[in-house]
Amino acid sequence: MILQSFKLKNIDRRTEKHLQKERINDRVNNCIINSVLIFVDEHFNEVYLDALTEALPIKKENIQKIIFCSGKNNEGIENVISAKDFGLFGKFKRNISQLNFDKGVDLIINYTHNNSYVDNLITQLNASFSVGVRNKNGKIYDLIIEVEKNELELFNVELEKYLKILNKI
């Protein structure tokens, strides 16, 4: 328990360190979104993914998903990360290239709530736009949508509305 809190504190420090660096995008930030990377937890329902593909004019094959599993049974699941993938000092043990997603991601969507591990990983990725739910560190995202954990349909509706306003879709 003590080591777990020490590990989370170090992950939060590492996240802050990544946020202090200036995010350099090799793309223009007002580009149209063609590819999406979403972070979900193990309780994510595929219905929300279908609703996202209906809301956004993006093909389902251009939406990639990374699952955060808190349990130990994550064998055989593609693109899964867990707390075991982070070292005691907050460093991601695996190479980010081991996660099967395209490097040129236009939009990152985080459906997890207050997950320090996912927040740390998002700060290391280079996406032109990132969206998430309100959490303890709001500097991670370009757009924050405040919804409850069970209101992901509302999140998708609001996401579509704001991406249209910002001329991203």
Q: Average the pLDDT over 84-111 and give the result.
A: 80
Residue at token pair 């994550």:
74
pTM for the full predicted model? 0.84
Question: Could you tell me the residue ranges of all domains in the chain?
Answer: 2-165
How is residue 6 written in tokens?
């020490």
- CA-to-CA distance for 102 and 111, rounded, in angstroms? 19
- CA-to-CA distance for 105 and 40, rounded, in angstroms? 16
Distances (CA, A) of 35 to 29, 38, 43, 53: 14, 10, 23, 11
- CA-to-CA distance for 6 and 145, rounded, in angstroms? 29
Q: What is the pLDDT of residues 100-111, one digit of tens each?
A: 666 678 899 999
Q: What is the pLDDT of residues 20-56, one digit of tens each?
A: 775 554 444 667 888 899 999 888 878 888 888 888 8
Could you give the maximum distance between any two Cα atoms of the chain, in Å? 46
**Which CATH class for the 2-165 domain?**
alpha beta
In contact, 53 and 154? CB cutoff 8 Å? no
- CA-to-CA distance for 154 and 116, rounded, in angstroms? 23
Residue at token pair 């907050």:
90
Comparison of pLDDT for 156 and 101, the residue scoring more: 156
